[in-house]
Amino acid sequence: MVASLHFFGAGIYKAINSQQGSMIYLSDLPTGALAHVSSFLAAPSRALFAVAINSRDSSSAIVGNQWDALDFGEIEKELAAKISDDDIRAVLLSIDAINNLRSLWLTNCINITGVGLDPLRGSTIIQDIDLSLVGVHESCRLDPEPPISCAEVIPILDSIIERGEDCSLEHLQFPNEWRRERNTVSDFHAFLTRYNDYLNSRADVCLKCSCNLPGGGRMLQMDGRYQYGTQKFACYDCMKQYCDDCRVDEIWGFCGKCERSYCAQCQTVKYCHCCENDICVDCIGFKECSNCHENTCLECARGCHNACCADKIWCNYCVDYRDAVSWCENCNESYCRDCCNSDVYAVEFCYNCETSLCGQCRVKKCKEGSHCERRWGIHCERSCEQLSFPVLLKDREKMQAQINELQTQINELENERREQSNEINELKRKVKDLTGELEVV
């Protein structure tokens, strides 16, 4: 990508001097002009632009010296996905990351192995590194799996924590692929042990009870299905720490979707009784089930097709076991129990052919000549043809109402035409009278 950006910077913007025939490249423009233009770019784009210019003086002016944080989530997702390890390395060198950068988020950089992080080797000021490759409140599970490698990244992280008391590293967020299965003999698990040993030399206290926290409150989980390899005591957003006894539901939550921990001041985490997960509300919205009144995430909910029920949802449990919602086998639209009992267009079950269809799909089936066949020799009076009859009547009523409405509009237009015709005749009469007066004169 850097090569293409270099071509962009050096050759795409050019002007031909008509007198001398010389070519002027973008890199030949005044440094002040380039710096001004780049000031309108997002931070990662500005750094990539500086790399593309490939001029020491211009690049320094474009980059500047304010580089406490670098988040590749500030650029388009499609662009971040094209960034390579060479691009990462060039950007980190251009901003002098080892002496400037405190926080790094590799958001959407899904095609890197991690070798491009080498310029951070031995950094004493880096505090926060997010290697999850996903944005905040996005699912941490990527498909296909990204190529980011423990073998490439862990030696760089080791070089940082080996600085001992000079090390500033406080927070690490790892890719889900590294944390998915706990393996006590893996290089990743060994690094977690080394990192926690480093943190044990630091001290901090719980913000609620003021008790001492191991590892300065930044220790990584060494077990757990979803929390393995995540920060144990610290909130992902504000980095405040709470001990195990104080991390109760009122002040703490771990989201099973983005797999991050939050305090109540930074995020609301709710429990979905269907999928039995704690999920932060910015990852997935929540609503109350209209049947059982339990909190339900929207991934475990079903709505009603009718507009009158637009604000209502029903949890999967009530749908599957309490018949709160029925859906059409043909169009897959769902209708709540109340609508099924009162609306002829909602879903009804035919005991003859054992199908659940909405009114429109049942009428369509009958019109196509699909006759309702009896099952098991049992005849039910409410066959598909009979269930379609109220729908056809309703369609007829709607059509008649539309015809009446059109007739009303036609009558109104006819009245307007008559009024305009009368006005025209009146104007003609006045013109004729004025013409006669002029002839007399």
Contact at 8 Å (CB) between 327 and 335? Answer: yes
Q: Is the pLDDT of residue 281 over 70?
A: yes
Mean of the pLDDT values across residues 31-38? 81
Mean of the pLDDT values across residues 392-412? 92
E strand map for 102-228: 103-105, 128-130, 171-173, 204-205, 212-213
Q: What is the pTM of this model?
A: 0.69
pLDDT reported for residue 342: 84
pLDDT reported for residue 71: 94
Angle between helices 43-53 and 31-38 (to 10 degrees): 150
Confidence band for 123, pLDDT divided at 50, 70 and 90: very high
pLDDT reported for residue 153: 96
Mean of the pLDDT values across residues 139-156? 92
Confidence band for 3, pLDDT divided at 50, 70 and 90: very low
Q: Which residue has the higher pLDDT, 92 or 8?
A: 92
Query: Which residues have C-beta within 8 Å of that of residue 416, sequence separation ≥ 6?
Result: none
Contact at 8 Å (CB) between 126 and 157? Answer: no
Mean of the pLDDT values across residues 209-224? 69
| CA count, 13 A, side-chain hemisphere, 272 | 27
Mean of the pLDDT values across residues 191-201? 85
Confidence band for 10, pLDDT divided at 50, 70 and 90: very low
Name the average pLDDT for the chain.
Answer: 83
Query: Which residues have C-beta within 8 Å of that of residue 415, sequence separation ≥ 6?
Result: none
5-19, 151-165, 214-228, 319-333: least confident range: 5-19
Q: Is the pLDDT of residue 106 over 90?
A: yes
pLDDT reported for residue 246: 78
Confidence band for 222, pLDDT divided at 50, 70 and 90: confident
pLDDT reported for residue 159: 95
In 149-288, where does DSSP find H-type helix? 150-161, 176-179, 187-199
Angle between helices 56-63 and 43-53 (to 10 degrees): 170
435: enclosing H helix or E strand: helix 384-440
Query: Which residues have C-beta within 8 Å of that of residue 226, sequence separation ≥ 6?
Result: 254, 256, 259
